[in-house]
Each structure stands twice: as C-alpha cells, then as structure tokens.
C-alpha cells in the first residue's frame, strides 16, 4: 500500500457540500498539483466531521490540524503554507471562544475533546466512497467473526449484554428485538433499516450514511444472519440525495467484494440489501408506517400487536432498527458487549449522537457517552450560548420530545432521566434556546409540524393536534382565554392516551413540558397580553407597568 | 383455546380472537366506528379502546388478539374518557348544523355513538376540515364535509370491489377521502356500485335522490306513471319499516306504491323471465355457431361499467341483453302503450332498484331503443321507503296489493335473480328443459347458491354436452374471473357476474346495514318465494309466451334486437 506524507480530509457532509466544500477540494487538488505534491499528499472527501458551523473545513492528518470556514483562496494558502511550506496557517485555525487563542489540533478543541465516537467512528476519517478505507478500519471483520465463529444465539446474547437500546426514539432493547425476530416463525424474514430521519434539526442518520455507509450494511448483514433473513431494505427519505448516492455506491462495492450476495465469506450465508426511497412523509419514520410504505401503500401506522418482529413487512417477521442503532453493531461484535457497556449509565449504555443546534456557539453533530449532563453538552461541547445570552431551554427528541428548563441542566441525558421530566432522548435532536425564544411560540412551532405531518388515520391525532395548534395560535396572537391552559392540558393528556402511534402519543410533549416549566410565560400571554421575548408581534414586549 | 378475563368475567376463545369478539361472548358490546366485520379492522377510530393490563397504551379491541391470561377492562374511567374523547374529536370536526337535513339523520352511527357515550357538548370547537360536495355522477353524492375518515368506503372499494376509485389523500387535518387529484367520481373509473354508501356510517356518501322528480310525475295529470320493482327490493324494504331482515313484503309494498299514486304497477321479474329466454337463446346461438365464449351476464350495471373500464377488450363476452328493468321500460313504452292506447310520450317509467348504478344505466344514451327513454327514473329501495313515509302510509297496516297485467306476471326463476347465482339457476332450469324437452325433477341448483365468492358447476345438457358455468359476485371475484379469461384458463360456457357481494339483495341501494348474515336472510326470502310459486321456470310464464306471440315474435328477433338488446362502450381507466 502506498504511504502518504499527508492526508487532506475535506468534510463533505451535506452541510459542507451546500456551503461549498467541493470548491475547496478542487482548489486543494489544483494546489497540490501546482506544488508538485501529488505523490505526497492525498486529498479525499470524507463524511461529516461534526462541527457544522465551522464549515467548509478540512482536517490535515497525521497532524490532526483543523482549518475552518474556508474559501478557495484560503485553500490555496493551506497548500502553499502548510502542505508545501510546513507552517500552520494561523488565521484559518479554530479560535477558542473564551480566550480567542487559535487551537490547531482537532482533538484539543472543546467541541471534540469531550466526545466519544463509536457510531461516528469512521465519519470524517475515511472516504465513504472507497470500501478499502472501511475495510482498513476493521470493516466487515465483525461480519466475518459472526459468520465464522458465532451462533445466532451468541450474537443475540452479545447484543443483549451490551445493553444497546434503539436509537430511533423509543429506546427498546435492541437485543430483545433481535431475539424476538429470531424466534418468530416465517417462511421469509426481513431486515429493515429505518433511515427516514425526519425530526427537524436531526441529521445523525444522514451523516452516518453519508460518512460511513458500510457500517450500516455490515450491521444489517449481521442482523440477517442472526434472525435468519437474506433480504434487507434501507428505507431512506428522498430529501437525502447524497446519502442515497453514497449508500447505493457502497452497496454496489459490497456486492463486488462479496460482502453482500450469495455465500458470503464462503459460509453459505446469503444476504442482500436494497434501497427504498420515502416520499416525504414524517410519519413513515414510525416503524409500522415505514413497512406499509415499503409495501407500496400509503404510509400509515398500523396497530401493534402484531409487532413487526412477528408480522412485519409483507406479513413476515421483520427486524427494524434505525441507522444509528445498526452503526453500533459492528463495534459491539468486535470489541465485545462489556466494552460497549462500559460507556453510559446503568440502564442506558453506550453513546448517543446528538444534533446540537440553536443558540449554542458550536453547533453540529456530537457523540457523547449516555449520561453526559445537559450542562456539559451545552456549555463544554456547545461552547455556551451565543452573544452572552442566557440559556432558556433545550428541546430534546424533536417534535416528540420535551422542553428542558435551566433548573434541569444537570440532568444526565439517558432514557430514564429524560422520561422522568417529561422529555425523551428521541432520535437525538437537541435544540438550545435563549431568552429571545418565546416558549409559547416554540411549542406552537412543534405542534404546527406534528399537526401537518399527522397521517390522518386516527381522530385524536388528526383533529386533536389541530385543536391544540388553534389554541396556541390564539394565545400567541393575544386572544388567549382564561381556561386555555386547562384545555391544552386536557387535550394533550387525552391525545397521549388515545392516539394510534408514537407520533400522536408524543406530539403533546412539547406543549405539556412548556406548560409544566414555563407556565408563567403562558399566563403572561393570556392574562397580560405580554410576550417577554418579543416574538409574538401582536403582543407587547414590555410588561405593563402597574400604576399604584 | 385461551382464557382471558373481561370486566371480571372469564371467557374462553380461540387464540387470536379479537377482544371485541371475545367480549361479545360475555355480553359486553364494545362500541365501534371504523370497524366493520367482513370489511375492515384497522383500529383507526380509537372508539373501541380498552385497557389491557400490562400494556402502557389503551388498545383497540377490534384488532387486539386474545391470549392466555389477558385481563381486559372495557368500562373504567380511563376507557370511558378515552372513547368519549375520540368521538368528541370527530364531532368537533363534523358539521352538526346539518344533522336535521342529512339523509342519514336518525340512521347515523356517529349520532348514535355520541348519544350512547353521553356527549352533551362540543368542548373543543375550531376550524372544520370541510371539503367539497361531489354530485356530478347520476348515482352517488359525496359530501366531504361530513366524512369522518373511517375509511370503510376506501376499504370496500379497494379490497372488496378492487376498483380503488376513492382513497385517502393528504395529511393531517387536510386528509381527505376522494378520487385521484380531487376529481369527481364521474371522472374516474368508479362503477357507481354504491357499496361505499352501504358502509358509510354517516351521511358522507349517499345516493343521488330522484324522489322529488317522481313526486312531480305522479302529480302531473298529463303523465301516466308506471312503477316496476326488482326482486331484491321486496326482500329488504321491510327492514326500513322495522321488519327483521329476510321478511318478504311484496304484498304491502304493492299496496303502498299504488297508494303513492302510480298508475300501473309492473314487475321487473317479468322482464327477468324474458331475459332468460333472450339470453338463453343467445347462449345457445353462441355455442352452436361458435360465438365468443364464455358468455357473461349483463344485468348488473355496476359490473358493466367495471368491465368497460378495466377489461374493455373482453366486452364481446358480454351478453347483449339489456338489464331486465330496461327491457321492461322499453316494453312498457311500446307493447303496453300500444295495447292500452296511451301515447308513450306521456308514460313515465320509474324503477325501484336495490342499486345505484341503475341510475347511471337508465341515463345511458343507448337505453332508448323505442325512441323514448326506456326508464325515466330509478329510485333505490331506501328512496321508496322515504316516499312511503313522506306520504304518511302506515306500511305495517296495509293489506296485500297486486301487480298489474300484462307485465306483472313472473316465475320463481325470475325472483331469485336478486341473489347471487339466481340468474344462472334460472337459466339452467330453462336451458335443461328447452334443450332436452324433458322436465327437470329437481329445480334447485344448490351449487350456484350461497356466498362463496366464485361458484362453479358442470351441468350435462342433452344435445349440447357438459355445460360449464361459473358464478361470481363482488367485483373482486369478477376480476379474478376476468384474469382467467385473459390467460385462457376460464373454459366456461356461461358466467353470471353480479357487481355487489351477495348479488342485488345487498346492492348499493338497499337498506343499511348490510352484512353476510343479512345477505343470507334476504336471499333466503327470495328462495322461499321461488319455492312457493306454482311456476318456477321462465319459459313457462304465460305472459312471456303471450308477448312473443303478440309482439316480439322470436327470441333474438328484429323487435328484440331493437328493444331488448344493447351495446357497450370501452371506457378505459380515466
């Protein structure tokens, strides 16, 4: 294998692609050629490095130097000064927000320092379009290990022991799910990957597929062997063209290298994966709706039981996990359940990827051990709130999640703790707000989303969310009524209890948690016609001054 | 078998039985709305929610399978609140101001449910999802503002009839049931069978009423108004007046329509007998002369529209016979007009049919062979009941009425037209006797009776050999037969196809509700009438013999060709 003096990793996650990383890459490639460094420096596009607000960015290895917010001119300077001249280009380095000092090495930057990468182990490190690079990082060794030295039962036990829980939102034990799918009787079985990531702001699944598609393919093959299935489907939303392109490419490469297809590793095990593209319905991220959609029907949830593990795709037993869940599997197989379980809390093992967004200084994709506090996420990794504003609330789990106020900043982020305060880990969306956010308007935003994304099948969700939205709109327009909070709570509790699927059952969470933690702000809107954040334009920004 | 506990009572059922069914065994009736036996169980409406111990969420009883040791509560505060909430939500999006003027007023499942659950106020009012009213088709009116999105119509149209004229579209509060691109039923491949009307729990899908037009004709002194009724009507009309399903009310019905003011009361059954002669002759001709086989019956207009839309290439398989009421209409305005000395221009023919597709059929341009519309108005069984109520007639107290000559005489063979297999059985009775000249000992062809989707029989007929026949009812079964004709595996001579499951007894114009039990009972009533009639074979109907002698001449003759036969239109899908 050829060795290179330096490797330039150009982040080519969808975010950086849209901020112009291709021009940066072209400039670097041209520069490398002009300086006659073609034989010494390798330039590759890699998956999401994580710090999206710094893009377009490049990482230069082996030094691990990160250059941020680049223009093509900057890229030429990097080639001339760093790659040819051997000097750091100081003006392009990351600056510590507190000290203002440049930080050269990625691993010294706070945003990266506190992360623990299992799911994202290859993202931002390898060329996702080149299977060799995945293989070089122990790729497909887990599949080999499973096929040559583990019984399906052993695999199930390993996953159960690891404590891995579904990363799509519900947090059900992945190992148990595999066990049920293995035990289910069926002439056929299917392995399905849920890549219909739809929570506003969440993009970890997209990034895994863009940056490390083989980790998902390998995990699905392992799942196929474990439950006794030879066919997998990845259901991916149409809004992710880059992920689709890279996954398609990866599947083709895996087939060529015979990691997919007939008689894998000569063991007699057959497995293949096909892609199904969603048509833009949020509800198709709900597992039964997703399966219905693959079947070619209108994507709507169906009642469980029967659960997919018993009666899923086309009526056959089906194992369905999301992208992030699968991406953990090869690592667990290779390094062992105990290693995995050494991260996280007692009941929530491993890591979780969050899409950090909103008012924090550092936004992007972060992977931290379960149990990391919200405070660490916001202030250590996120660098605190922008413009020296106050932290107001964090919305976890997207529109299905809850709103966490400052009083709970020290809560460890794990399934049980968040559920206890009315929020959920969910798929890992994490939106941070500051004092400029109106909490009623914030709840209205999420309700507007779930209301229009309801599939319309059950009345509590179809009509109930509309009624909630109507009340919230009325409050933000200064037409709130005295009993509106009670009405909202009644609507919310009833919808939670009666809706058909997870979408409806969790849709009221943002409203319930904002009422729980920010009731005063609702009351100000309703009684004083006052919006302290100044967001609700029909209301007064300043509180009325009482004349005594 | 598994044992579960429902509201403290132990019940034993087969594993997998739904909680809903299990509860019925211990006399617990769980309310339902979107659930419809034999059609759909999707747990969508959240009305049948129950609490199953060990389950975090309330569960829909209509789909939740019973298993050993399950403990279920169907009536506690949580369940009551949940059910009420689901219905409150539906009600909050329903145009309640329209209740009094709704065609389903007092027969509305939502009304009943709201009453049963004690909903006395609409707590959560707001915008209504609204929608449009599609009244462009001659048969069916769809009022989206009343639709509660239970999807029963969608399922019956897609799964039972395999037509998929309407389906769920859009998302959230804007979800609607409608034809593709929000078009009218008239613009898509809807067969107008009206099965959607039968399953609609509210007034969102109804027939297009022609009651007022009929009243005006009746009270127009210049008009001579003739009414005819299909056999299935008399087996179901009683249900509108509180009689149990399967009560034959022919006599009272005849008395009632005479009181409504019709000048003559004829029987579509007469023309059913005539159909057997014409269609039977056509079949024999095709067999002897090598015509297109299998030949398929043509008396069901929903079925005709189906084959025109979906299998236009197979139209030559259809018998060219008009449906019986069209034949009778044509004869009324020719044979009868001549006989009675009435100007056919002044005759108005009203057909009472179990069918909504017949409203479309009578408006087809080719249905005017005499120069006048064969049939002027088609009203459904339900519409006739409304007219009787509007006229203040005490139906139960009526003495038996009678049909008028000469188009009122009929045989048992005609009356069973109303049940699936009836046309085939009538045809076989005549075919066997006419072809062989021998008298049949047993007139009951059991093989073609009953609710099996596709029924087959082989009947040896002297001089012809073994005649292979098939009977299908419901368009899903019709489609199966069509596919077999296409791939060449349907080696039948003759096929009866009825658009509606169960045949005309459960047509789209019949009283609601309809289910397999009711289908069976209504059919039974017709078979009973057949059994009680002295003449049970079409070719023995004296009036039929007379009309050929006096008017028509020969079966398939010149007059028949103009008045009793028709042609079809290839329509394609859109």
Distance from C-alpha of B160 to C-alpha of B151, rounded to nearest angstrom: 13
Task: Check CB contact of A491 with chain B, cutoff 8 Å.
Answer: yes
Same domain, yes or no, for A53 and A149? no
What pLDDT does A546 receive?
55
Residues of chain A in contact with residue B45, where contact means CB-CB under 8 angstroms, are 458-459
Residues B160-180 have pLDDT tens digits of 999 999 999 999 999 999 999
Mean pLDDT score, B140-158: 97
Same domain, A150 and A221: yes
A488 touches chain B (CB under 8 A): no
* Residue A12 tokens, joined: 């080519």
- The residue with greater pLDDT, B46 or A15, is B46
Residues linked to residue B469 through DSSP beta bridges, in sequence order = B457, B494
Domains of chain B (ranges, CATH numbers): 2-75 (3.10.20.740), 92-207 (3.30.70.20), 212-563 (3.40.50.1780)
Q: Is residue A543 part of a domain?
A: no
* Position A169 confidence tier, pLDDT thresholds 50, 70, 90: confident
Shortest distance, CA A226 to any CA of chain B (angstroms): 28
Residue pair B58/B44 in contact by the 8 Å Cβ criterion: no
Q: What is the pLDDT of residue A170?
A: 82
Inform me whether the pLDDT recorded for B436 exceeds 90.
Answer: no
Residue range of the domain that includes A522: 439-528
Among A455, A466, A498, beta carbon nearest to B86: A498
| Least CB–CB distance from B168: residue in A454, A456, A491 | A456
**CATH number of the domain enclosing A477:** 1.20.1440.230
Work out the average pLDDT over A46-51: 92
Measure A495 CA to nearest chain B CA, in Å: 8
Q: What percent of chain A has pLDDT over 90?
A: 92
A423 and A312 share one domain: no
B57 with A505: Cβ contact below 8 A:
yes
Q: What are phi and psi of B355, to 5 degrees?
A: -140, 140
Contact at CB, A456 and B49, closer than 8 angstroms:
no
Residue A472: asked if its preceding bond is cis (omega within 30°), the reply is no
- At CB < 8 Å, which residues of chain B contact A? 42-46, 49, 57-60, 63-65, 78, 81-82, 85-86, 89-90, 92-93, 123-124, 126-127, 129, 148-149, 151, 167-168, 170-175
Distance CA B517, CA B509 (A): 18
- A336 and A452 together in one domain: no
Report whether pLDDT(B201) > 60.
yes
* Residue A426: predicted pLDDT: 87
Per-residue pLDDT tens over the stretch B96-122: 889 999 999 999 999 999 999 999 999
Q: How far is B468 from chain A (nearest CA, A)?
A: 37
Number of A/B CB contacts below 8 angstroms equals: 109
Do both A377 and A230 map to the same domain?
no
- A427 and A319 within one domain: no
Cross-chain CB nearest to B81 (options A303, A462, A494): A494
Q: If residue A14 lies in a helix (H) or strand (E), which one and from where to where?
A: helix A14-18
Residue A506 confidence class, pLDDT cut points 50, 70, 90: very high
Contact call for A303 and B58, based on CB within 8 A: no
The overall average pLDDT reported for chain A is 94
The whole-angstrom separation of Cα B357 and Cα B355 is 6
- Among the residue ranges A476-485, B258-267, B426-435, the one predicted with the least confidence is B426-435
CA distance B99 to chain A (A): 20
Of chain A, the percentage scoring pLDDT greater than 70 comes to 99
A452 interface with B at CB cutoff 8 Å: yes
Task: Report the pLDDT value the prediction gives residue A538, as an integer from 0 to 100.
Answer: 87
Average pLDDT over residues B511-538: 96
Provide the angle, in degrees to the nearest 10, between the axes of the packed helices A213-227 and A174-183: 40
Q: What is the helix (H) or strand (E) element at residue B461, kind and residue range? A: strand B454-461
Per the listing, tokens 């008399």 go with B234
Does some domain include residue A56? yes
Q: What is the pLDDT of residues A290-343, one digit of tens each?
A: 999 999 999 999 999 999 999 999 999 999 999 999 999 999 999 999 999 999
Together in a domain, A318 and A451 = no
Element (H, E) at B340: helix B337-340
pLDDT at A542: 65
Could you tell me the pLDDT band of residue A266, with boundaries at 50, 70 and 90? very high
Candidate from B90, B124, B174 with C-beta closest to A491: B124
* A57 and A149 inside one domain: no
Within this chain, do residues A229 and A322 fall inside the same structural domain, yes or no? yes
Would you say residue A494 has pLDDT above 60? yes
Residue A65 shares a structural domain with residue A142:
no
Q: Is there a single domain that holds both residue A240 and residue A157?
A: yes
CATH of the domain at A41: 3.40.30.10
- Which chain B positions have a beta carbon within 8 Å of A458's beta carbon? 44-46, 86
**Are residue A313 and residue A225 in the same domain, yes or no?**
yes
Q: The domain that contains A418 carries what CATH number? A: 3.10.20.600
Residue A114 lies in a domain: no
Question: Considering the domain boundaries, does residue A534 fall inside one?
Answer: no
**pLDDT digit string (tens) for B544-556?**
999 999 999 999 9
Q: Is some CB atom of chain B closer than 8 A to the CB atom of A492? A: no
**Residues of chain B with pLDDT > 90: what percent?**
94
Whether the ipTM is more than 0.90: the answer is yes
Q: Which of these three, A108, A141, A167, is where a domain ends? A: A108
Q: How many domains does chain A have?
A: 4
A305 contacts on B by Cβ (under 8 Å): 64-65
Residue-level pLDDT at A1? 55
> CA distances (Å), A305 to each of B18, B73, B85, in order?
11, 18, 23
d(Cα A151, Cα A116) in Å, to the nearest integer? Answer: 30
Q: What is the pairing mode between strands B454-461 and B465-473?
A: antiparallel
Please report the pLDDT score of residue A545 as a whole number: 56
**Binning pLDDT at 50, 70 and 90, where does residue B149 land?**
very high
Burial group, residue B519, by CB count within 10 angstroms (0-12, 13-18, 19+): buried
CATH label of the domain that carries residue A198: 3.40.50.11540
Instruction: Report pLDDT digits (tens) over B439-456.
Output: 888 899 999 999 999 999
The structure tokens listed for A346 are 């007692």
Evaluate whether residue A397 is within a structural domain.
yes
Catalytic residue numbers of B, as ranges: 279, 282, 299, 319, 358, 361, 366, 504
Chain B nearest C-alpha distance from A299 (Å): 10
A298 and B168 in contact by Cβ < 8 A? yes
Helix (H, G, I), strand (E, B) or coil at A348: coil
The mean of the pLDDT values for chain B is: 95
Range name among A415-419, A465-469, B145-149 with the lowest pLDDT average: A415-419
Q: Closest approach of chain B CAs to the CA of A349, in angstroms?
A: 24
**Confidence category of residue A543, pLDDT binned at 50, 70, 90:** low
Tokens 């130097």 found at:
A65
| Nearest CB neighbour to A466, from listed B81, B151, B173 | B173
């Amino acid at each position: 294998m050829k060795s290179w003096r330096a490797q330039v990793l150009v982040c080519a996650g969808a975010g950086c692609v849209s901020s112009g990383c291709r021009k940066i890459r072209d400039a670097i490639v041209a520069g490398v050629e002009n300086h006659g460094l073609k034989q010494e420096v390798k330039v590759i596009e890699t998956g999401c490095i994580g710090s999206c607000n710094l893009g377009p960015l490049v990482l230069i290895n082996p030094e691990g130097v990160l250059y941020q917010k680049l223009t093509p001119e900057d890229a030429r300077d990097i080639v001339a000064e760093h790659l040819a001249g051997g000097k750091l280009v100081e003006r392009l380095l990351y600056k510590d927000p507190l000290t203002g000092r440049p930080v050269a090495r990625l691993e010294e930057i706070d945003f990266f320092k506190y992360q623990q990468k299992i799911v994202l182990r290859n993202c931002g490190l390898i060329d996702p379009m080149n299977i060799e690079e995945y293989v070089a990082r122990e790729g497909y060794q887990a599949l080999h290990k499973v096929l040559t030295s583990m019984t399906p039962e052993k695999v199930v036990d390993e996953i159960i022991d690891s404590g891995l829980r579904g990363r799509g939102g519900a947090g059900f034990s992945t190992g148990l799910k595999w066990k049920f799918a293995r035990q289910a009787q069926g002439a056929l079985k299917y392995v399905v990957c849920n890549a219909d990531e739809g929570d506003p702001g969440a993009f970890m699944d997209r990034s895994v597929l863009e940056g490390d598609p083989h980790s998902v393919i390998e995990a699905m093959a392992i799942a196929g062997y474990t439950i006794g299935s030879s066919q997998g489907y990845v259901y991916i939303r149409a809004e992710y063209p880059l992920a689709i392109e890279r996954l398609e490419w990866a599947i083709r490469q895996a087939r060529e290298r015979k990691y997919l297809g007939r008689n894998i590793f000569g063991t007699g095990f057959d497995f293949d994966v096909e892609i199904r593209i969603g048509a833009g319905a949020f509800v198709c991220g709900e597992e039964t709706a997703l399966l219905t959609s693959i079947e070619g029907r209108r994507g709507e949830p169906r009642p469980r039981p029967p659960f997919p593990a018993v009666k899923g795709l086309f009526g056959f037993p089906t194992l369905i996990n999301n992208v992030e869940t699968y991406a953990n599997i090869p690592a667990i197989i290779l390094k062992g359940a105990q290693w995995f379980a050494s991260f996280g809390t007692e009941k929530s093992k491993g890591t979780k990827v969050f899409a950090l967004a909103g008012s924090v200084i550092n936004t992007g994709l972060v992977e931290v051990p379960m149990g990391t506090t919200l405070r660490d996420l916001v202030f250590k990794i996120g660098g605190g709130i922008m413009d020296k504003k106050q932290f107001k609330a964090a919305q976890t789990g997207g529109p299905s999640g809850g709103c966490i106020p400052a009083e709970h900043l020290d809560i460890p982020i794990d399934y049980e703790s968040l559920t206890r305060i009315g929020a959920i880990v969910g798929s890992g969306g994490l939106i941070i707000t500051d004092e400029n956010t109106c909490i009623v308007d914030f709840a209205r935003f999420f309700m507007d989303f779930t209301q229009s994304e309801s599939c319309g099948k059950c009345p509590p969700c179809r009509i109930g969310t509309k009624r909630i939205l109507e009340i919230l709109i009325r409050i933000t327009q200064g037409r709130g009524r005295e009993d509106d909070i009670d009405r909202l709570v009644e609507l919310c509790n009833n919808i939670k209890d009666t809706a058909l699927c997870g979408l409806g059952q969790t849709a009221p969470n943002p409203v319930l948690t904002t009422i729980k933690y920010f009731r005063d702000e609702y009351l100000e809107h309703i009684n004083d016609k006052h919006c302290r954040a100044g967001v609700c334009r029909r209301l007064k920004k300043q509180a009325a001054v009482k004349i005594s | 078998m598994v044992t579960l506990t429902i509201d403290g009572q132990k019940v034993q059922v087969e594993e997998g039985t739904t909680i809903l069914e299990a509860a019925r065994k211990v006399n617990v009736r769980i309310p339902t709305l979107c659930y419809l036996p034999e059609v759909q169980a999707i747990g969508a409406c959240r009305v049948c929610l129950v609490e199953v111990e060990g389950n975090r969420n309330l569960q829909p009883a209509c789909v939740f399978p019973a298993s050993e040791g399950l403990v279920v509560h169907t009536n506690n505060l949580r369940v009551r609140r949940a059910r009420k909430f689901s219905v409150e939500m539906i009600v909050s999006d329903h145009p309640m101001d329209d209740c009094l003027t709704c065609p389903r007023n007092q027969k509305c499942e939502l009304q009943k449910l709201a009453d049963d659950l004690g909903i006395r106020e609409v707590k959560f009012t707001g915008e209504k999802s609204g929608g449009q009213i599609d009244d462009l088709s001659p048969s069916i009116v769809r009022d989206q503002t009343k639709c509660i999105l239970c999807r029963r119509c969608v399922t019956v149209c897609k799964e039972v009839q395999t037509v998929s004229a309407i389906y769920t579209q859009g998302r959230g509060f804007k979800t609607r049931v409608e034809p593709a691109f929000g078009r009218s039923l008239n613009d898509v491949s809807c067969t107008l069978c009206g099965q959607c009307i039968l399953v609609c729990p509210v007034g969102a899908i109804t027939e297009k009423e022609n009651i007022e037009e009929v009243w005006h004709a009746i009270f127009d002194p210049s008009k001579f108004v003739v009414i005819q009724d299909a056999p299935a009507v008399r087996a179901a009309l009683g249900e509108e007046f509180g009689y149990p399903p399967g009560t034959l009310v022919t006599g009272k019905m005849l008395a009632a329509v005479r009181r409504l003011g019709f000048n003559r009361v004829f029987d579509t059954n007469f023309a059913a007998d005539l159909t057997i002669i014409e269609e039977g002759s056509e079949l024999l001709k095709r067999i002897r002369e090598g015509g297109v086989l299998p030949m398929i019956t043509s008396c069901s207009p929903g079925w005709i529209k189906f084959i025109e839309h979906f299998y236009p290439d197979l139209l030559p398989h259809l018998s060219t016979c008009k449906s019986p009421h069209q034949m009778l209409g044509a004869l009324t305005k020719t044979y009868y007009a001549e006989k009675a000395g009435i100007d056919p221009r002044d005759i108005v023919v009203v057909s009472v049919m179990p069918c909504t597709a017949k409203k479309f059929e009578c408006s087809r341009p080719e249905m005017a062979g005499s120069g006048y519309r064969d049939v002027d108005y088609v009203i459904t069984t339900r519409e006739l009941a409304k007219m009787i109520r509007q006229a203040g007639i005490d139906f139960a107290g009526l003495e038996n009425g009678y049909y008028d000559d000469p188009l009122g005489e009929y045989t048992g063979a005609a009356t069973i037209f109303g049940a699936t297999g009836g046309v085939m059985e009538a045809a076989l009775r005549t075919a066997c006797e006419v072809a062989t000249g021998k008298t049949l000992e047993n007139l009951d062809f059991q093989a073609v009776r009953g609710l099996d989707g596709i029924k087959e029989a082989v009947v040896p007929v002297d001089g012809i050999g073994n005649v292979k026949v098939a009977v299908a009812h419901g368009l899903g079964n019709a489609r199966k037969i069509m596919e077999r004709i296409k791939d060449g595996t349907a080696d039948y001579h003759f096929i009866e196809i009825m658009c509606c499951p169960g045949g005309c007894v459960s047509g789209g114009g019949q009283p609601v509700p309809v289910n397999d039990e009711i289908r069976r009972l209504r059919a039974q009533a017709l078979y009973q009438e057949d059994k009680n009639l002295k003449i049970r074979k079409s070719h023995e109907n004296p009036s039929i013999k007379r009309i050929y002698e006096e008017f028509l001449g020969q079966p398939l003759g010149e007059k028949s060709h103009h008045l009793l036969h028709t042609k079809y239109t290839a329509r394609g899908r859109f």
